[in-house]
A = this chain, B = another copy of it.
């Protein structure tokens, strides 16, 4: 530990995970002023400002390696204690399992992986939803121990495994098909028909347009950053959009939506990035995630 105080590291982790000195104090059963003193002491020991004092509190660049260290130590310590005490050694508290997952995986296959873990009652899941950019940031900062992401390059300090691809189909309501695509998927129709995007970083629809037309098309857009609202907007005829096949199936079967270009799909490969750490929880989670992904992804 090279002189670093483990209570101070735990306090750093609590301040960032809970977002404020007050909330960290509640979690650790100490006063906010004790939290503040520990953070100051740790900052003096390291010689760097570690916490950005704002709402919510965040780790500085210098604070991130320490935050990751704190998370890794907490996990290893807890597992060593549980091993030392044996199965009848009493309740060591719940192990926090922090994972960031892209929105479409979270809305479809990922919860089943959590349910498949052995002895889930001893775990406390802290799931975050995000896109791949932010995911790498959270991994680097140690705020999460693993991520489901489209980023294939291993994040610093992490191992990466391919999970398979999520397949997207171009869906539209029958009314939208009649209104904008009466003459088929012509380039002018694709430039005029509104497209539903998840958010400003969502490039799946534009990738589909490029493969279809061979060039960049710039149609009118609606931004709808909620998985259920995204498919509802398409069902209601506001525009067309790329929907994961797991979500599309119901709307296609019921006829509420049609596949704009059957056979023309976009596959987004997904990866499991996780801390390089010999932890029982992380190993079990990796096994469960890979198993469920193998059953549901391409």
User: Which residue in chain B gives the minimum CB-CB distance to A228?
Assistant: B107
- Whether the Cβ atoms of B107 and A236 lie closer than 8 Å is no
- Whether the Cβ atoms of A226 and B115 lie closer than 8 Å is no
Q: CB of A112 within 8 A of chain B?
A: yes
Chain multiplicity (copies) = 2
Q: Known contacts A226-B227, A229-B106; decide if A236 and B129 are in contact (CB<8 Å).
A: no
User: Is the contact region of chain A dominated by helix, strand, or loop, or is it mixed?
Assistant: mixed
User: Which residue in chain B gives the minimum CB-CB distance to A23?
Assistant: B200
A114–B221 Cα distance when bound, in Å, is 14
> What range describes how many residues of A lie at the interface?
35 or more
Binds B, one of A44-52, A118-126, A150-158: A118-126
User: Which residue in chain B gives the minimum CB-CB distance to A114?
Assistant: B238
A110–B236 Cα distance when bound, in Å, is 11
- Whether the Cβ atoms of B238 and A120 lie closer than 8 Å is yes
B-side contacts of A103, CB under 8 Å:
226
List A residues at the B interface (Cβ < 8 Å): 18-19, 23, 94, 103, 106-108, 110-112, 114-115, 120-121, 124-129, 194, 200, 220-229, 232-233, 236-238
